[in-house]
Amino acid sequence: MIAFFSMPAHAISSIQITVEAVDAPIGQLKNAQFQVDLKGAQAALILNADLKPTNEKEFDHFDLKCGQFLTEKIGQAQCLNGRFLSKQINAPFSVDFVSYPSDFSLSIAFNGANFSDASGLHAGENLTGQIKMAAKKSNLSQTWLWNGLISWNAGELFWQPFYFGKAGNTFEINGTFKQDVLNIQNASLLVNEVGEMSATATINTKTKVVEDVRVSAKDVDFTGLYAVFLKPMAQKTAFGNMDVSGKADWQFEIKNLAPTSFELNLRDANIEDKNGKFAFSHINAHIPWDYDEPKNLQLAYKSGHLLRLPLRETKLSAEINRFSLTAPQLNLPVLDGALNLYDVSAVRLADSWAWHLRMDLIPITLSEFSKALGWPVMKGQISGQVPLVTYAYKQLSMDGAMTFNAFNGTISMNNLKIDDPLGVVPRLHADLQMRNLDMGDLTRTFSFGAIEGKLDGDVKDMLLENWKPVHLDASIQTSEGKQLKKISQRAVENITALGGEGTAAALQRTFLRFFKEFNYDKIGLSCKLRQDVCEMGGVESTPTGYVIVKGKGIPSVNVNGYTQKVSLQDLLGRIKRITDSNSKMIVD
């Protein structure tokens, strides 16, 4: 419906058009009222309607107004002092549009625009910038030559999952269009504090398929690249909370909907997990990939740490063949020793990686190893072999037992499984077995007081969540067989501090205080941990507790424990006080 309204002098004062409904591929329009107000010196345009884009469920009312609507020449139109208002958009703007049969241009300037959507996945605040688009048709080839520009110099933009908090970003694009084929000859994105990225692509507008894509970036800032593009996509992984620095180049190609090549180069980069799980400094890496040709990967770093274990300067090399990675041997220097990895093989399955390897541990000094993990300082060395380890579907598992040599005995780990080891809350399941550990070496290492003899230990059904124990059945006891069994008075006092009270004080009130050491028959201590509570036990039970040290011969002494339930935090605190050589022993 079209209506004309006139003033007394019969001049047309306004033009009004009403449209009940319009259906289009991009959405639906209904209850539209279009009005041109001719009362002022310059015409004003007003449009009110309900709009529902194709991907939305409900209609949303909007008002569009041009304070000055100019159409002085055929094919040209200007909208000045415009504003678009709806429930989630408030955008002041101006438009300059020129259209002829073989070319057109469109320029939109926006100032202080705000928008959001119902899902909360897209939003902008105080955006100021411009959008330009122009195209010209070649009469000879019937090809459209086009170019575009999007830029903003103020405001903030969130486009899930990316957040652009600083303005000064520009997107320029140009190409051709002919017979349903849109060719992007060059697309350049300049992001503040990141750098410039460029791309080319071919799009079939009929099938809506992006056929050929090439993206490249040179000498971009790794800090900005991570903050703007990488961190949002890695938010729920082990790489979602890092400090990074350095420079990066990368490029990738897609042809016929399939990736064909990729290359990432890092120069003097640094990566540090804010949760303290890992860090690598002065990284230089060349990581190529090609669908048709094997490529050689190179990765080097000066230093770092993994789960608090210091890593020395390392250079790694491996072959990448389509979706697999192989290396006959990799050497990872750790502390004063190394991990030698053999038969390394990894393959990409669906959306995740699967891999396996074998490993030897070149002797590491226990003193440095224990300091790195925040444990009491140990003496001696640790070495060992690791059987086949596999990782698939976010679970790491081990075939066979991982065996280490320490304290003149053996320590082995069986049934190892780690769920999501690089995730936010990894879960470790394992059993530990210790056999014939020299208690003389152990007690000297932990400043515990002297105990001579051999020790066996078992930790069954161990569960660590985020590397903290929440469930286990642990026990230590004297090894079978003939051996010298002596315990010093200081060791008796310290064992008493672990299990209860009374024995240490009793020693000081009897003639036993004159002996520096005693004979014993058995030593045993156990803990059944459920969440944070440890149920304690010993060699045997008593009416009031349990026996930790069972004496034998002359002189001998029994050590009993009385605290049957204790929090793990308290138990570890007792051990720390006892093994701290700079503190006096405290008996709870």
- Checking if the pLDDT of 2 tops 70, the result is no
Note whether 191 and 169 are within 8 A (CB).
yes
Task: pLDDT band for 501, please (50, 70, 90 cuts).
Answer: low
Question: Does the structure show a pLDDT above 70 at 506?
Answer: no
- The answer to whether residue 507 scores a pLDDT higher than 50 is no
Helical pair 568-579 and 489-499, crossing angle rounded to 10 deg:
160
For 377-424, how does the pLDDT look when each residue is reduced to its tens digit (9 = 90+)? 776 778 888 889 999 888 999 988 888 888 888 899 999 999 988 777
Per-residue pLDDT at 31 exceeds 60: yes
- DSSP secondary structure, 217-268, as one string: EEEEEHHHHIIIIIHHHTTTSTTSSEEEEEEEEEEEEEETTEEEEEEEEEEE
Q: Percent of the chain scored above 70 by pLDDT?
A: 92
324: β partners: 321, 347
pLDDT at 332 over 90: yes
Higher pLDDT, 14 or 170: 170
Q: In 3D, which of 421, 345, 339, 349 has the Cα closest to residue 386?
A: 339
Determine the Cα–Cα distance for residues 394 and 354; give it in Å rounded to an integer: 8
Pairing assessment for the beta strands 60-70 and 195-204 based on DSSP bridges = unpaired
Comparison of pLDDT for 480 and 496, the residue scoring more: 480
**Alpha carbon distance 138, 399 (integer Å):** 68
Interval 238-262 mean pLDDT: 87
pLDDT of residue 551: 87
Average pLDDT over residues 175-193: 90
- The answer to whether 516 and 488 are in contact (CB under 8 A) is yes
Question: In the numeric block, which tokens belong to residue 40?
Answer: 């002022």
What's the whole-number average pLDDT of the chain? 85
**Pair 406, 412: CB distance under 8 Å:** no
Q: 296-314 pLDDT, tens per residue?
A: 999 999 999 987 889 999 9
Is this structure's pTM higher than 0.75? no
- The whole-number average pLDDT for the span 266-282 is 93
Is residue 337 within 8 A of residue 309, CB to CB? The reply is: no
DSSP tag of 556: B
Kindly state the greatest CA–CA separation across the chain: 131
CA pair distance 120, 159, nearest whole angstrom = 9
pLDDT value at position 585? 34
- Count Cβ atoms within 10 A of the Cβ of residue 76 and give its class: 0-12 exposed, 13-18 middle, 19 or more buried: middle
CA distance 548 to 68: 93
| pLDDT the model gives residue 376 | 65
pLDDT: which is higher, 235 or 227: 227
pLDDT class of 510 with cuts at 50, 70, 90: low
Residue 302 or 511, more confident: 302
pLDDT cut 90: percent of the chain above it: 41
Q: Give the count of beta carbons closer than 10 Å to the beta carbon of residue 292.
A: 7
Is 119's pLDDT higher than 50? yes
Residue 1 scores a pLDDT above 50:
no
